[in-house]
Amino acid sequence: MAIQFDKDLWNRLLRRTKKTAAGAAEAAKTGAAIMGQKAEESLACAKLRSTIRELKGEIDRELRAAGELVYATHKGNPSDSDALQAILERVDALNQDLSDAERELKIFKGTLFCDVCGAENAAINAYCQECGQPLRKR
């Protein structure tokens, strides 16, 4: 017995298959875009972490140098106060860079900073937990 060929059924099946294939391709594209974005973000996070490590190391070295000048003074070998001042100013600048880098890393990880009061908020918050203003999602 010959198989009955149902043209309508065949066409419906074909349309559905096409739609599914297109949907799968679209989903794959979106997935790849998300993966690409994730990879870019994790690279940026890794760079920020290494910047933070370097800054902390530099701050440690500067503070140690400042400490040595203070200790030399204590030991009766007065150090140049301008030199100490210069070191402390470098530490101020490094600390500013450090807090900028740490803030940026937090933003990458989803922390929301309130535009109004600057408070840190969890990524799921819609309103600032400090001042109640709506939070702007990135």
Residue 95: CB minimum distance to Zn ion, A: 24
Q: What is the DSSP string of 34-69?
A: HHHHHHHHHHHHHHHHHHHHHHHHHHHHHHHHHHHH
Q: Which stretch binds Zn ion (CB under 5 A): 34-42, 79-87, 102-110, 121-129?
A: 121-129
Size of the site for Zn ion (CB under 5 A): 7
What token pair was written down for 49?
């972490």
Measure the CA–CA gap between 131 and 127, rounded to whole angstroms: 8
Judged by CB, which is closer to Zn ion: 79, or 121? 121
For position 117 contacting Zn ion by CB under 5 A, the verdict is yes
Q: What's the closest the beta carbon of residue 131 comes to Zn ion, in angstroms?
A: 3
Half-sphere exposure of 85 (CA within 13 A, CB side): 3
Handedness of CA 85, 86, 92, 95 (dihedral sign): negative
Cβ proximity to Zn ion: between 78 and 132 the closer is 132
Minimum CB distance to Zn ion, residue 104 (Å):
19
Say whether residue 130 binds Zn ion (CB under 5 A). yes
Q: Which residues bind Zn ion (CB under 5 A)?
A: 114, 116-117, 119, 128, 130-131
